[in-house]
Amino acid sequence: MFILKYIKEVFSGLKSLAVGLRRTLYYFSHHKEIITQQYPDNRDTLVFPDRFKGEVVMVHDDNNEHACTGCTACELACPNATIKIITKFDITPEGKKKKAIDKFVYHLELCTMCNLCVVACPTDAIKMAQTFEHSVFNRAELTKVLNKPDSKIREGVE
Amino acid sequence: MVEEIGSTAAGDIIINVGPQHPATHGVLHLVITINGETIQKVEPHLGYIHRSIEKMCESLTYRQFIYVTSRMDYLSSHINNHACALCVEKGLQIEVPSRAQVIRVLMDELTRIASHELWWGAMAMDLGAFTPFFHAFREREAINDIMEETCGARLTMNYMVPGGVMQDIHPNFQSRVKEFIALFKSKVSEYNELVTGNIIFQNRMKGVGNLSAADAISFGCTGPTARGSGVSCDIRKLYPYEIYDTLNFEEILETGGDSFARYMVRVREMSQSISIIEQLIDNIPEGDFQAKTKAVLKLPKGEFYQRVETARGEFGVYIVSEGGTTPYRIKYRSPGFSNLSALDHMARGSKLGDLVAMMGTLDLVIPDIDR
């Protein structure tokens, strides 16, 4: 009886191997089932979802105007001190002093893409961009100023 | 190290596995005492990826500290974030809209499947089979795409916030999840063909790494590790949170207590998670995805604890508040740490070659152990 059981086990074992091997051979012969993408070669066809969190950018319109009032809500919401807002005082046509941003400094190397700053912004001045290749040779390049040169706040944004 | 060698019995050899070793899935350092090929003692050395997350959280506000927990058990980051959000909501007594609750549970279960998929591939790879790893990643990729579309990230989402979820689900979410369910169901038979039924795999798993129910309880094991020994410990059943008490699903229990039982628990849990998603995906209620909360959250003075079931076991968040905007103390109860403590007991007396298989069935995530 022992030998019968032993032979039975050998054959059921061989069968289980054949079943697994059949699956492997199926994929070996069906090239259409392969879904691997060759990354650096497929850059042109890569599509990222709108919500993909790549880096924080400031939205500028055609007139080089943004919506950032310098309220520092994003700076307070950030867990890693990624954002530093340097403000200045503009003189309005009426001769009054008005607070505005001088530099919106963004440290990409500290950012964890948690999206808390974008949610905190009351004027939707910043958003997440879909870029993802952030490697640079010089670390200082990761510290960015998000407001473009000579840009100013859009009319009517308080 | 010299003293340790001096204190061992004659014929014993001490070998180091890790901290840089492909079988440990991270920077875990095991000091193993062997006699011939028989394991005498396994001593895990921790701390290689300790980032003092608990201390870090003490200086972050109740909105900010959630993102850090994604970096602990990164394979179930949604569920970790969920626990933190629930704990803050408990303190603030916020009523979460039903839409947010359903979205949270859906995300949790998708994360659980993704985590088990990766474990299944890594488990087979630990035993020398490389192909299953790619089969597992093919299905996991579909989940990652869904996460990327709705949450904006593939691994560390930070999607759960106190009061609900950060953004509403993407318009494509429901159809994409249904596509995934169809894909998963058509491919799950491959898992059994390739690995579960394989004679080599079964011989290496059955009767290896035995853990009795009493030992599982005394070591504090939770999750599939304990359920493989027949200990009922599913937090979703025992202490239901969100809408888990209204859902129809089974707690998977196996009584074997060996590596194969733990393997089967996880494979069967994937099907249960699919069944939960199927119950909810067409019944997402309309309404807000986030409750109205104050701009600055202040928890009342006191202590708050919330436990959830992650893919690895019971995860607990314990917040001590002094009434300020930041917690006074935060303690995380991570499942991996307790499960790892059972490794020494399981491995004693077995062969060195089986150690990797045992570690694989514990489903260790090292950042979760070290924090």
CATH number at residue A113: 3.30.70.3270
Q: Decide if B131 and A35 are in contact by the 8 Å CB cutoff.
A: no
The alpha-carbon gap from A24 to the nearest alpha carbon of chain B, in Å, equals 8
Same domain (yes/no): A23, A59: no
Q: What is the pLDDT of residue B164?
A: 86
Q: Tell me which chain A residues have a C-beta less than 8 angstroms from the C-beta of B72.
A: none
Q: What is the mean pLDDT of residues A118-141?
A: 88
On whether any CB of chain B is under 8 Å from the CB of A92, the answer is no
Q: Are B158 and A116 a contacting pair at CB < 8 A?
A: yes
Q: Are residues A126 and A76 located together in one domain of the fold?
A: yes
Q: Which of B158, B167, B170 sits opposite A114 (nearest CB)?
A: B158
A89 and A116 together in one domain = yes
User: Does A13 reach chain B within 8 Å, measured CB to CB?
Assistant: yes
Of B149, B153, B199, the CB nearest to A113: B153
What pLDDT score does B9 carry?
Answer: 66
Q: Would an 8 Å CB–CB cutoff place A119 in contact with chain B?
A: yes
Domain co-membership, A135 together with A59: yes
* Number of helical H runs and strand E runs in chain B: 16, 8
Q: Nearest CA to CA, how far is A93 from chain B (Å)?
A: 34
pTM of this structure: 0.87
Query: Predicted confidence band at A1 (pLDDT cuts at 50, 70, 90)?
Result: confident
- 3-state SS of A71-139 is CCHHHHHCCCCCEEEEEEEEECCCCCEEEEEEEEEEEHHHCCCCCHHHHHCCCCCEEEECCCCCCCCCH
Closest by Cα among B147, B116, B102, B94 to B247? B102
A88, A124: one domain: yes
What's the domain count of chain A? 2
Give me the residue spans of the domains in chain B.
Answer: 50-370
Clarify whether residues A12 and A64 are in a common domain. Answer: no
Please give the share of chain A, as a percent, with pLDDT higher than 90. Answer: 1
Residue ranges of chain B with per-residue pLDDT less than 70: 1-9
> What residues of A are in contact with residue B170 (Cβ under 8 Å)?
49, 51
Q: For strand A152-153 and strand A65-66, is the pairing parallel, antiparallel, or unpaired?
A: parallel
Using an 8 Å CB-CB cutoff, list chain B residues near A12: 199
Cis preceding-peptide flag for B19 (omega within 30 of 0): yes
CB atoms within 10 A of CB A10: 11
- Best of B51, B56, B59, B63 to mutate (most A CBs within 10 Å, chain A): B63
Residues of chain A contacting B156 with CB distance shorter than 8 Å: 112-113
Chain A positions touching B151 (Cβ under 8 A) are: 51
Tell me which residue in B148, B194, B199 faces A49 most closely, judged by beta carbons.
Answer: B148
Tell me the average pLDDT across A98-111.
85
CB < 8 Å to B164, chain A: none
A105 at B interface, C-beta within 8 A: no
- Give residue B8's pLDDT: 60
Confidence check: pLDDT of A131 > 70: yes
CA–CA gap between residue B335 and residue B337 (Å, rounded): 6
Tell me the two tokens of residue B43.
């001593």
pLDDT of residue B7: 54
Instruction: Tell me, yes or no, whether A126 and A61 share the same domain.
Output: yes
Does the beta-carbon distance from B64 to A115 stay under 8 Å?
Answer: no
Say yes or no: A103 and A137 in one domain.
yes
Show the tokens assigned to B19: 């901290």
A92 and A59: one domain? yes
In this predicted complex, what is the ipTM? Answer: 0.80
What band does A115 get if pLDDT is binned at 50, 70 and 90? confident
Backbone angles phi, psi at B32, to 5 degrees: -110, 130
| Domain interval for residue A9 | 2-36
Q: Which residues contact B82 (CB under 8 A, 6 or more apart)?
A: B104, B107, B108, B160, B308
B65, A51: Cβ pair inside 8 Å? no
Q: Residue A83: inside a domain, yes or no?
A: yes
Residues 119-158 of chain B with CB under 8 A from chain A are: 131, 138, 141, 148-153, 156, 158
Residue carrying structure tokens 């070290």: B370
Chain B hits for A78, Cβ within 8 Å:
64
CA distance B343 to B362: 8
Under 8 Å CB pairs connecting chains A and B tally to 68
A94 or B46, greater pLDDT: B46
**Distance from the A133 Cα atom to the nearest Cα atom in chain B, whole angstroms:** 15
Task: For residue B326, give the nearest of A71, A79, A4 by alpha carbon.
Answer: A79
Q: Select the residue of B148, B152, B202 nearest A115 (Cβ to Cβ).
A: B152
A81 lies within 8 A of chain B by CB: no
Instruction: Identify the CATH number of the domain defined by range B50-370.
Output: 1.10.645.10
Please name the residue that has the structure tokens 């935060």. Answer: B330
Q: What is the rounded distance in angstroms from the CA atom of residue B111 to the CA atom of residue A55?
A: 24
Question: Testing the interface with B: which of A15, A16, A56 to mutate, by most B Cβ within 10 A?
Answer: A16
Residue B343: CB partners within 8 Å, gap ≥ 6? B42, B44, B358, B359, B362
